Amino acid sequence: MKPKKEWAKTRRKFLQRAGAGTIALGSLPLLAGKAWGDDGDKSFHFVVLTIGPGKDRLLISGDGKFDEDGNIEGGGSFDHFQAVPPAPLPLVATGAWKARKFVSFTLPTVTAPGDPDATHGVFQGGVLELRAEFYPVGQPKVKDVMVEVVCNLGPAGASTPGKDEGVSVTFPDGTEFKPSGTGVTIFSTNGEPGD
């Protein structure tokens, strides 16, 4: 067995090497591409019920992040069903969706005096548009689906007249689902309040 002093020296060398390896591994994402966490990054979160034509309804959730350079990643789950009682309501499709292309992010057109960025703490109002792919279980994927996420952030006094809080989904065949007023949408600035 090594003396205590020699063991401590060996341990210190090991930890230094391990630390250098950790720094090198941690640097890989920076060298490989976009480094998330830069100024301007935002996150989106929502769980909402949308209303389609006739009895069609779409329950959809989503989480992800995007930045001012047009990078986006994220997705969620969905249930497309018919609002025809009794429960359980008939299922049309269910599965996952993934963000594929950032289209735009605009700030609300109405903001509180002195708060043009429509922020309240780390939260922010706005309108995000993206293109997505939907992956219904047992059915072909659906490309080029337009998803619009609207957050009229009441505590910030922020809203976009004509845009209801919620999520709109438009499929390539023209089928549209609009906000129902049920659910929550929010953007976060991924920073400290006031950043």
pLDDT in tens, 53-105: 999 999 999 999 999 899 999 999 999 999 999 999 999 999 999 999 999 99
Position 39 scores a pLDDT of 59
Asked if 120 contacts 156 with a C-beta cutoff of 8 angstroms, the reply is yes
Please, what sign has the CA dihedral across residues 22, 23, 29, 34? positive
pTM: 0.79
Q: Using CA atoms, how far apart are residues 42 and 122, in angstroms rounded to an integer?
A: 10
List Cβ neighbours of 27 (8 Å cut-off, separation of 6 or more).
none
Asked if 77 contacts 61 with a C-beta cutoff of 8 angstroms, the reply is yes
26: alpha, beta or left? (left if phi > 0; alpha if psi -120 to 50): alpha
| Residues 26-47, mean pLDDT to the nearest whole number | 59
Q: Could you state, in order of their start, the residue ranges of all structural domains in the chain? A: 1-33, 42-188
Query: What is the band of 195 on the pLDDT scale with cuts at 50, 70, 90?
Result: very low
Please, what sign has the CA dihedral across residues 104, 109, 115, 116? positive
Which of 12-21, 32-41, 91-100 is predicted with the least confidence, judged by mean pLDDT?
A: 12-21
Residue 134 belongs to what H/E stretch?
A: strand 126-136
Which of 16-20, 22-26, 36-40, 114-118 is predicted with the least confidence, judged by mean pLDDT?
A: 22-26
| Residues 110-114, mean pLDDT to the nearest whole number | 91
Which of 30-39, 63-72, 174-183 is predicted with the least confidence, judged by mean pLDDT?
A: 30-39
Beta partners for residue 146, in sequence order: 131, 170
